[in-house]
Structure 1
């Protein structure tokens, strides 16, 4: 379970959302706190400016109690260093003056319980600003330090962060502190169920694939109609299963046909040898050996074709070389009677010359078995393809057989009736060689015979 995709996604969602929400919440709280602090500092600056303005008019520090209301301040005589006015009244240990002496600007000071006395007359003007909790809690203040115009007095004015705003911010802070983990956990749970629901089709696909055996490739995995990646995965797997089913079926049929084709000459050879051994005085040994040699030759040809087909089925990508089709035609037609060649230009393909010669040889052999007067081999280049055409004037190939004639061990009725007919692998080899070279082969329409057309990608002119 801990290694499942659901758990990992849920954990990742929880951790990511917790971090994201935590960072955002912390930034929001800090920003709000900074705004409150900046507001208090601004109030302290305004109060300090007001006190300095009053002192600059010639008023005495003692008059500030009557002139400045609702302000926390402390005025120090620069010469003696003694306090000359303050609000509230401070006990001996109390002061809002920052340590280290006078420094103009904004400072932060903390008043502890017992450092002020709200019962003193000095506290009347600022008791409300200090708040009702001034006697028993620490009070954090922003203090603005300034001097009077004649630099006789150091003025310290302070302001407390807005209580209602701070309370609201504290409430938000506690809510976020408790709520962020809960929300992150909720997101993780939602991710758990969402992934579980999303992976349900995957589990159905896995279960179906686990039950599909080598002899039951006709089954297909369920494909959801969602149109998402899982649906495409199911479609790809069904396509793969269809290819495997076709390959296994083709292999089984190929094996059965090959067994049948091998059995016939072997049975004939065995029969001849048994009869010859049983009746040596009734048979001509020379004729029997010649017949046996014909069966062995037929077996050799069949095995060679099977080996070639096996190589074509399992062959990986080869490093091609430039092959002139004109040279292939000249090599294959050398010594043949009744075959005419028509070559246009000098077409070149990238491939294996030996395989291409075998392709043409099979086509010509097939045409010569069926022709009446002769065979025409033509080579040309059309639309970037090298076109190799073999035409005969025999009985032709029926339209319904023009596709299956390239299947393995397929022989038409006319071919089966011929004594010199092959095992039905010649055109199958042609089709496999053409596909291996990125081309195709087909039976074209032709009056008065058969025309087989091979198209191979042109490689242009070879370098001399």
Structure 2
């Protein structure tokens, strides 16, 4: 990864810049405050000297005696007809405006000077600033050396800490990068902190992808098997008719081709419908009377000689594509008709928020452990009802996908007569 794109480098650089700015401002401020504080101390001393010497001159003490009594580290100059100084350097002192101080340089040395008008003349006092300059210079050097050292130490610490903090991220990245399309069963691990939560999320995602891949493979395998079966039947009859023309008739061969072709067509249409439902393609929707669809299917079954009980069919309206909902109802009814001993029972009810369609048969029923698996694509149970003669193995799977597309549910349980009962629950259409 380029250095400029490294989180570790950006964190280190960001911390370095921020702390450098803060320490730089703090260092400059410290030097200025130190210089100001020391200079203020010298200024107070100069003002006290002016006051003391002025008082002595007012008390009548001679100017020469007063000036000579000042210490060697203070320069004093009394201007008048005969200027009086306590040191040769004091003769060079300029007159400073009253009520102010000024920095002056005499013979290469810096002084802080102030002046005051007295009866004996203009009095000027100056104190050396050497210790102030030395202290400020020493502080400047220390800060100039110390601040860069602190910044370098900070950068090293942040670099190391950021590297250790991001090490689990790199380890997680390598683990994920090493998972191929054929290794979806592998999982990643990054500890118990926030990265661990991220790893757990990624593991759940891998589990979903693995499950989807397994379902897809099984679906493709089952679909291939189901499509191969009618093709094999057609080919066998064609080869038989070709090798032994007297063993079959044209009508028999036509019937086999027609029946197996219809079976293949049903399979392909079911697969295409499932593919569209998997993609959640939007279907035109409007109010559909579920009770009308149930009664239409009941009439169709009666025409086939099946006894149907519709006494429990009441009003129920949902929002759906009519063809899609009709397909779900027909699949449930056809499934019940194939397994019913005598009677198929249809019921439609509504509680205002939900509409329920119940399709029940009086056949052998579904074992409790298989009541969820019957909705899988090409699901085959061990019992006679699992091998639906004339069924594609996709009917109930299509019903479940249609129910989920409508934010509804489909459930299987035992009916009142011991047969299978399927309950399709859908949101009711808003009342107009």
- Normalised to the residue count of structure 2, the TM-score between the two structures is 0.83
Aligned residue pairs total: 418
- The residue that corresponds to 1:334 in the other structure is 296
Pairing 1:233-312 to 2, within 5 Å after superposition: 233-312=198-277
- The residue that corresponds to 2:329 in the other structure is 360
Given the superposition, is the C-alpha separation of residues 410 and 95 from structure 1 closer, same or farther in structure 2, using an over 3 Å criterion? Answer: same
Given the superposition, is the C-alpha separation of residues 452 and 27 from structure 1 closer, same or farther in structure 2, using an over 3 Å criterion? Answer: farther
RMSD: 3.3
Q: Give distance in 1, aligned partners of 2:283 and 2:332.
A: 25
Deviations 1:274-330 (A, max 9, x none): 2233444443322321221111111111001111112222336x4885x445x1442
Deviations 1:351-390 (A, max 9, x none): 65543333333223222322331222323248x5554433
Given the superposition, is the C-alpha separation of residues 40 and 162 from structure 1 closer, same or farther in structure 2, using an over 3 Å criterion? Answer: farther
Contact 1:61 1:84 in 2 (8 A): no
Q: Give distance in 2, aligned partners of 1:166 and 1:386.
A: 93
Match of 2:93 among 95, 100, 104: 95
Q: Give distance in 1, aligned partners of 2:12 and 2:31.
A: 28
- Give the stretch that moved more between structures: 186-195 or 62-71: 62-71
Contact 1:73 1:156 in 2 (8 A): yes
Match of 1:185 among 143, 147, 152: 152
Deviations 1:130-156 (A, max 9, x none): xxxxxxx53242x344444x7x85444
Given the superposition, is the C-alpha separation of residues 109 and 304 from structure 1 closer, same or farther in structure 2, using an over 3 Å criterion? Answer: same
Match of 1:206 among 162, 169, 173: 173
- Give the stretch that moved more between structures: 292-301 or 234-243: 234-243
Deviations 1:223-262 (A, max 9, x none): 132322x212211221111111111111111110000000
Pairing 1:324-403 to 2, within 5 Å after superposition: 324=287, 327-331=289-293, 333-337=295-299, 338=308, 340=310, 342=312, 348-349=318-319, 352-371=321-340, 372-381=342-351, 385-403=354-372
Unaligned runs of 5+ in 2: 300-307
Match of 1:109 among 64, 83, 103: 103
**Higher RCO (CA < 8 A, seq sep 6+):** 1
Deviations 1:68-97 (A, max 9, x none): 6675444445xxxx78444544366x2243
- Give the stretch that moved more between structures: 211-220 or 431-440: 431-440
Q: Give distance in 1, aligned partners of 2:145 and 2:314.
A: 86
Q: Give distance in 2, aligned partners of 1:289 and 1:270.
A: 12
Q: Give distance in 2, aligned partners of 1:391 and 1:411.
A: 20
Contact 2:111 2:128 in 1 (8 A): yes
Q: Give distance in 2, aligned partners of 1:264 and 1:410.
A: 16
Q: Give distance in 2, aligned partners of 1:83 and 1:390.
A: 131
1:461 positional shift: 1.9
Q: Give distance in 1, aligned partners of 2:152 and 2:309.
A: 83
Question: Which structure shows the bigger proportion of residues in helix conformation?
Answer: 2
1:66 positional shift: 6.0
Given the superposition, is the C-alpha separation of residues 18 and 418 from structure 1 closer, same or farther in structure 2, using an over 3 Å criterion? Answer: closer
Name the SS for the 1:20 alignment partner. helix
Match of 1:139 among 98, 110, 114: 110
